[in-house]
Amino acid sequence: MKSWILKDIDQEIEKIFYPYVKIKSDTFSEYERKIEGFLKDFFCSIDYFKDHLEHFGAYKIENDPLKRSVSWAFIKGNGEDTVVLIHHNDVVDVEDFKILKTYAYSPKGLERELIKMKDDLLSEAQKDLESGSYIFGRGTADMKAGGAIQLALIKRYTEIKNMKGNILLISVPDEENISAGMRSAVLLLKELKEKYKLNYLMMINSEPHQRVNPDIGILSEGSVGKMMPLIYVRGFLSHIGKVFEGFNPLNLLTEIVRRTELNLELSDFVEGEASPPPTWMYIKDRKYHYDVSMPLSVGGYFSILTLDRDPAIMVEKIKKISEDAFSDVIEKMNEKYKIFRKKTNKPFENLPWKVKVVTFKDLYDEAYKNYEGDFKRDYDDLFKEIKDQVEKGEISIVESNFTLIEKIFEYIHDLSPRVVIALAPPYYPNVANIYFKEIDHKGKELSKKLIAYAKDNLNEIYEREHFYTGISDLSYSSIRNSKEIIKSLEGNMPLYGSSYAIPLKEIEEISMPCMNIGPWGKDFHKLTERVLKKDLFDKTPKLLHRAISILLDWED
């Protein structure tokens, strides 16, 4: 297993970890590029890469408004078998640190400040702080700990003579946003595979894992998928003094929210594991100034995590929920209108509203049928303008979707209320090794062997799970049903193929099993984010090295 590689590995990790954390690399910001310089200097300090300048570099993300790159390093050994190590180098911002922002990227200074206010922390965080067993700070857990472990091992692996197999390390930006880094890394993986004729055995990420039982660590053999349905509701305007003459879209959208928020029918259940139920992330009316009328339209989006279903299936489920909600809202409006008319001694007739729920593609096709070329030219002109605004950060991707939908409505003859369902970026495919029809025996037995190794050599208990539910870049390690997914995204994601794209064909070409082997961390994205020291400096490096040794058939 080449155990000499692990000698004093804790010191190697520490020399990388603290400088890595110290770099402010807030996601979707110019700060992310600072990491590229840090990693370039790191690789340039290693003799192997000094002698093989073609084996590391910065792979530009195409059309990236921030001009970011994917950092990579490749150790070429003997044969085609290759292990891919990935980690992300961006972090979320530090707004929640408030007066402690100065210390956010300096773990030792932050620890001193947190001790002064320990009584204000939640009990578990206070206990962990006082124990001295954890390192606190932004990015300590998510995920510069895992990154430092991978970098330290890569440095050691360059010292192996006549190494069996190959190791490729990829460090990506933007994981905390829309995974622009990993989507570009797929193209890099394809290029390197073709150039060196590589056989990708497995992609290993080192995201921090969370524990339900503090005594049991987790190895993940896949990653949860994610999609973000966007709901736009068009109402019918009326003065608030004549509410029954109009249709308030807020009423309908809130009903849809009630029926989808935490709806377990939209969760997936696979072999005893479940995706967390959906939750709404954004709701906004489309009124930009006050007047005495109800809003014409409202919109919002929510997050659905998946284990085995694709976008087409979920869109159909959301469409049915929206239709039922629409029907119930109309029924309740009629009930109230009937009582209102009775109390004012006036005859009652049902309100004119009918259930109408369409997809973005349905709406687009309807406008095109009405006006053909005139509509398309106007829509395309706006699309180009919006694409430019999105890339410059002048408008959010979500807001751009609503703007495009409203442009389409200018070409719609039917002005009655309706619901429009679309998909907003990002989209993460669900992946798991159980979905591979064929998998190398070394990969198939890897979790079992690592669990035995941890028990016998680390005095640690680990369990396997099929899906990492924290969302990760492992989603782009493989894909199933690519043709169906492409069709669904092309029809229902307004920005797909332009401002936002996923190299689904290339993912299919580089598809490989995956695993997450990372340290125990807590409170990601919070003031009390922290990583367990013994995992960072000892246990996780040993597990990761053992995994690579098994996959590449290394022996002492």
CA 169, 171, 174 angle in degrees (round to 5)?
155
Q: Quickly name the fold that domain 225-428 has.
A: Alpha-Beta Plaits (3.30.70)
* pLDDT at 540 > cutoff 70: yes
**Rounded distance between C-alpha atoms, residue 372 and residue 306, angstroms:** 37
**Rounded distance between C-alpha atoms, residue 221 and residue 227, angstroms:** 20
Task: Count other Cβ atoms within 10 Å, centred on residue 266.
Answer: 22
Q: What is the model's pLDDT at position 16?
A: 98
Q: What is the model's pLDDT at position 329?
A: 98
Give the model confidence (pLDDT) of 328-358 as tens digits. Answer: 999 999 999 999 999 999 999 999 999 999 9
Mean pLDDT of 447-460: 97
Q: What is the mean pLDDT of the chain?
A: 95
pLDDT-based confidence at 437, cuts 50/70/90? confident
Domain boundaries, the chain: 3-219+431-477+512-551, 225-428
Q: Is the pTM of this model over 0.75?
A: yes
Asked if domains 3-219+431-477+512-551 and 225-428 share a fold, the reply is: no
Mean pLDDT of 160-164: 96
Can you say how many angstroms the Cα of residue 98 is from the centroid of all Cα atoms in its chain? Answer: 26
Q: What is the model's pLDDT at position 237?
A: 87
Mean pLDDT of 350-370: 97
The closest alpha carbon to 432, from 423, 417, 443, 422, belongs to 443
**What is the CATH number assigned to the segment(s) 3-219+431-477+512-551?**
3.40.630.10
Mean pLDDT of 115-144: 97
pLDDT-based confidence at 63, cuts 50/70/90? confident
- Beta-bridge partner residues of 530: 136, 522
CB-count burial class (<10 Å; 0-12, 13-18, 19+) for 368: middle
- Beta-bridge partner residues of 200: 82
Q: Are 201 and 443 in contact (CB under 8 A)?
A: yes
* pLDDT at 380 > cutoff 80: yes
Three-class secondary structure assignment of 213-264: CCCEEEEECEECEEEEEEEEEECECCEHHHHHHCECHHHHHHHHHHHHCCCH
pLDDT-based confidence at 413, cuts 50/70/90? very high
Q: What is the model's pLDDT at position 556?
A: 56
CA 516, 519, 523 angle in degrees (round to 5)?
105
**DSSP H or E stretch at residue 362:** helix 360-391
Q: Are 189 and 508 in contact (CB under 8 A)?
A: no
pLDDT-based confidence at 265, cuts 50/70/90? very high
Mean pLDDT of 280-286: 92
- Beta-bridge partner residues of 175: none
* pLDDT at 1 > cutoff 70: no
